Chains A and B, each alone.
Chain A
Amino acid sequence: MNRIVNVARMQLINKWTFLGIPAVILAGAFLVTYLIWVLIPDGGPTVYSGAAQAVMWYFLALGIQSLTLTFPFSQAMSVSRRTFYIGTVGLFAVVALAISVLYYILGLIEVATNGWGQNGQLYALGWVAGSHAVVQILFYFIAMLALFMVGFWFATIYKRWRATGMLIVWIAIALVLLGLVALTTWQGWWPAVGAWFVAQTPLSVSGWVALFCAALAAGSYLTLRRAEP
């Protein structure tokens, strides 16, 4: 247990990686968005921005980096693969939860200040913001976790099977997607699929993505167990 906590502490030795850079991205994305809103003439409809996603995409890169560079180093620190995995994913989950709560709070402020005085929507995105507080936080949390796990999983594949592995995985993904599209078209399921998507709520989407995360988490762990630094 102690070593798991130490893995998290090791990841935090350079404060910038897990804390500093996300904070800069958060602040930067907000500032740029705000300036754009100021420049847009007032009186128009509500202005949306996807800038809040920026930090989430950084976590995709972080997932890749945690594995390709920190994993070989953790091996030199005599840490087992299991300990490294739990410590790293655990730390990430804590950071993601903190940012999710922050997003929720920023969303509340956004609503209270009439979109930062500019009638803008950055954090309290219409579709999500109507839900219960817990659902909103869960939604952001799961989304960030999914991106991190995608990065982490791809990195484990690369680590073990290099470019060949990547190629096979991408071809497999493309084939599966293509197969699904073909099947849906052939069976005439498109209206049903459309209806299914429309019927999704933030909570149900969180559930599906959580399932996806769990599969990736298990996949990454099993791949990592046989990875060499």
Chain B
Amino acid sequence: MTDPGESTIIEIRNVTKRYKDTTALDDVSLKIDGGKIYGLLGRNGAGKTTLMSVLTAQGFQTSGEIRVFGEPPYENDRVLSRICFIRESQKYPDDFNAEQAFASAALFFSNWDKAFAQRLADDFQLPLKRRIKKLSRGQLSAVGVIIGLASRAELTFFDEPYLGLDAVARQIFYDRLVEDYSEHQRTIILSSHLIDEVANLLEHVIVIDKGKIMIDDDAEAIRGSAFTVVGTGTRVAAFTAGREILHRESLASLASVTVQGRLSEAGRAEAAELGLEVAPVSLQQLIVRRTMDPGPELSMNGAATELEVSP
């Protein structure tokens, strides 16, 4: 096993995937370093599953080049054996129960931890002897989650793993993921459209929208990359003039504006002087804002001129 840290383990160049009438991936280039938890975020149909499929050679790109662990993954058992990707709509053999699915996984994933799988099955209260096709949606998700965690593959993908899981089960998943990750370093790519729920787990965020990469940055950097100011409309308009605006909202005389960029100390003092409230923007809000139009412009109706406003 190679060192899971730092070095680039996934490199894709100009990858496009076209279905008959849609372009699921549009000229995507991306580098992913090992040893982190990545969030692959985006709306339904944004291209998350397609991207993971082509990375694991379960699907095929229309054009472009993919390298995982330095080699093309297609028909490459050497590379594939270090990867685990259970899709959200994973199919299992008709007559399999969860125990048999785990027995299979033990054959193919060299780091498989049977005791861990058993403990997770207890946590999720998963009936091991019931046929998988008779399980509920949540239990089906649990089977995938358990295989993903207990395989301890160097590169593990989770594809919307929480579907049908209740809040308690979801929390169990997040907790186990973090615990196990801290003991067994590896690279985890977690696709999700429930951004707030997973935001705290993520070290790096990749946002995909309409088949294009919108954001590819450290989670920390993104969290500080925007802020919201709230106050009377005219003052907010004055304060935000000349800044890059992601979103505007107003209610009566009050306005709330989300601004792209880091707020300097001077800016913070200025906002305080104007009686404006400054709040951080959650990852979810930020992504929603950056994938939508900002909304109608606030009117300044001359008020700004009364105030001495520095840019």
Contacts and interface: CB of A to CB of B under 8 A. Distances in A.
A76 B81 CA distance: 11
Interface string B62-95: 0000000000000111001111111100111111
Given A79-B77, A79-B80, A228 B92 contact: no
B66 to A, nearest CB: 15
Contacts of B58: 75, 228-229
* Interface-centre pick from B58, B60, B75, B153 (highest chain A CB count, 10 A): B58
Given A65-B94, A76-B87, A80-B77, A6 B107 contact: yes
* Interface-centre pick from A9, A70, A78 (highest chain B CB count, 10 A): A78
B107 A69 contact: no
Nearest to A81: B75
B85 A76 contact: yes
Interface string A1-44: 00100100110011011000000000000000000000000000
* Interface-centre pick from B77, B82, B108, B147 (highest chain A CB count, 10 A): B108
Contacts, number: 79
Given A14-B96, A17-B95, A69-B92, A229 B87 contact: yes
B94 A69 contact: yes
Interface string B88-117: 001111111000110111011100000000
Interface residues of A, number: 26
Interface string B15-44: 000000000000000000000000000000
A17 B104 CA distance: 15
A162 to B, nearest CB: 12
B139 interface: no
Contact of A72 (B76, B90, B104, B109): B90
Contacts of B59: 228
B83 A78 contact: yes
A83 interface: yes
B228 interface: no
Nearest to A17: B95
Nearest to B133: A69
Interface string B194-208: 000000000000000
Contact of A69 (B75, B93, B104): B93
A183 to B, nearest CB: 38
Contacts of B60: 226, 228
Given A14-B93, A65-B94, A76-B90, A3 B108 contact: yes
Contacts of A10: 104, 107-108
Interface string A86-99: 00000000000000
Contacts of B56: 75, 78
A82 B107 CA distance: 17
B104 A3 contact: no
Contacts of A198: none
Contacts of A78: 56, 80-85, 108-109, 153
Contact of B95 (A16, A77, A80, A228): A16
A225 interface: yes
Nearest to B56: A78
Contacts of A80: 57, 75-77, 80
B268 to A, nearest CB: 50
Contact of A228 (B53, B86, B108): B53
Given A6-B107, A229-B87, A13 B75 contact: no
B103 A13 contact: yes
Given A3-B77, A10-B107, A14-B100, 12 more contacts: A13-B96, A13-B100, A14-B93, A73-B101, A76-B85, A78-B56, A78-B85, A78-B109, A79-B80, A79-B108, A82-B75, A229-B58
14 contacts: A10-B108, A13-B104, A14-B95, A65-B94, A69-B91, A69-B93, A73-B91, A73-B93, A77-B107, A79-B108, A226-B60, A228-B59, A229-B87, A229-B91
Those 10 A-B pairs whose CB atoms lie nearest each other, nearest first: A72-B91, A78-B80, A6-B107, A77-B108, A80-B75, A69-B93, A10-B104, A13-B100, A75-B58, A80-B77
